[in-house]
């Protein structure tokens, strides 16, 4: 049975696409056949982050409209076996997504033997975001530790539990909270919400905390999902999150600020 997971947030720019790329890569690395779908029709980004923009021939909308087969549109990742990307159309808009069409593609992917279908949602709560979350079995809500992002996440959780297919059937969509761009130093100074504050407001199970890290921007620009970077904190934190998604117990790390000693500072300066 394929598991459909939506990566959503309400607010834009919090790291949905980065997280979609990292988590789908992580699942595939652990041997699960995974596809990641870009629902951001008209603002296609996932292909850049996954470094396959030059290999896009057909896209999601083509498949929905029957202009191409699923096999033609799926792009196989060059680094990891078992990982496929279904890119968004750059020349269309969100209205090209119809519920029946999306359902048909998801069913076809499940029939192809995909274990995980990751839906990278566009920002907002309009049609595109609604289509991305409607069929979800589980949801990863991406939030930054600041009030507006947390408020929007709360809103999207409400929509998820009232408007999705599972909700219409009276079932519960499993929720996971992924907190990104977490900076423990700034939390200590009181400039950022702490993990506990966010969890108190959202009352949702914590999947992972991704520390703010230079490696994330670098990874996006180079088109290598950050989870491949085993020397970066963000990469390790995503790896932990994937393990938790698969049911493993992992302790959360990178939650507290490192207090640098004098020697470390001197060493850093000379380095």
Partner 1 sequence: MLDTEPSIDISRPQSFQIKGALLPLTLLEIKTSQLELVKRELTKKVEVAPSFFDNTPVVFVLDGIQDSAALDLMDLCDFCKSINLNPVGLRGGTDYYQAQARQAKMALFPSVKSRTRASRPDAAPPDTQTTNIDGDIVNNASEGSKKPLEPTEVSEPQPEQASSRDKPLIIDAPVRSGQQIFHAGDLIVMSSVSHGAELLSTGNIHVYGALRGRALAGVEGDESTRVFCGSQEAELVSVAGHYMVDEQLKKSFWKTASQIFYDGKELQIRQLSNF
Nearer to partner 1, 70 or 160 (CB): 160
Nearer to partner 1, 42 or 124 (CB): 124
Closest separation between CB of residue 152 and partner 1, Å? 8
Closest separation between CB of residue 202 and partner 1, Å? 8
Closest separation between CB of residue 174 and partner 1, Å? 13
Nearer to partner 1, 14 or 157 (CB): 157
Nearer to partner 1, 12 or 158 (CB): 158
By CB under 8 A, name the binding residues for partner 1: 151-152, 154-155, 157-159, 161-162, 172, 200-201, 203
Closest separation between CB of residue 206 and partner 1, Å? 15
Closest separation between CB of residue 11 and partner 1, Å? 12
Task: Give the DSSP per-residue string, the chain.
Answer: --EEEEEE-SSSSSSHHHHHHHHHHHHHHTT--EEEEE--TTS--HHHHTT-GGG--S-HHHHHTTSS-HHHH-EE-SSSTTEEEEPPPSSS-GGG--HHHHHHHHHHHHHTT-SEEEEEPPSSSSHHHHHHHHT-SEEEEEE-SSHHHHHHHHHHHHHHHHHSHHHHTT---EEEEEEEEE-HHHHHTTSS--HHHHHHHH---EEEEEEP-HHHHHHHHHT--GGG-TTSHHHHHHHHHHHHHTT------S-S-----HHHHHHHHH-
Nearer to partner 1, 67 or 126 (CB): 126
């Amino acid at each position: 049975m394929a598991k459909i997971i939506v990566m959503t947030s309400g607010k834009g720019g919090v790291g949905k696409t980065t997280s979609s790329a990292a988590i789908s890569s992580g699942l595939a690395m652990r041997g699960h056949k995974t596809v990641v779908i870009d629902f951001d029709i008209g603002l296609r980004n996932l292909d850049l982050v996954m470094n396959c923009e030059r290999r896009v021939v057909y896209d999601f909308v083509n498949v929905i409209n029957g202009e191409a087969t699923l096999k033609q549109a799926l792009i196989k990742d060059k680094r990891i076996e078992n990982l496929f990307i279904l890119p968004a159309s750059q020349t269309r808009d969100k209205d090209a997504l119809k519920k029946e069409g999306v359902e048909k593609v998801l069913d076809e992917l499940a029939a192809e033997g995909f274990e995980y279908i990751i839906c990278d949602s566009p920002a907002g709560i309009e049609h595109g975001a609604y289509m991305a979350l409607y069929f979800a079995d589980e949801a990863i809500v991406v939030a930054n530790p600041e009030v507006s992002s947390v408020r929007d996440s709360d809103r999207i959780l409400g929509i998820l539990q009232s408007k999705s297919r599972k909700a219409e059937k009276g079932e519960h969509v499993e929720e996971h909270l992924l907190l990104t761009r977490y900076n423990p130093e700034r939390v200590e100074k009181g400039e950022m919400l702490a993990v506990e504050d966010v969890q108190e407001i959202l009352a949702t199970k914590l999947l992972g905390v991704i520390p703010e890290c230079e490696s994330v921007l670098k990874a996006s620009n180079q088109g290598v999902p950050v989870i491949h970077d085993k020397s970066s904190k963000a990469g390790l934190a995503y790896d932990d999150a994937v393990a938790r998604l698969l049911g493993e117990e992992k302790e959360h790390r990178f939650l507290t600020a490192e207090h640098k000693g004098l020697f470390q500072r001197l060493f850093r300066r000379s380095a």
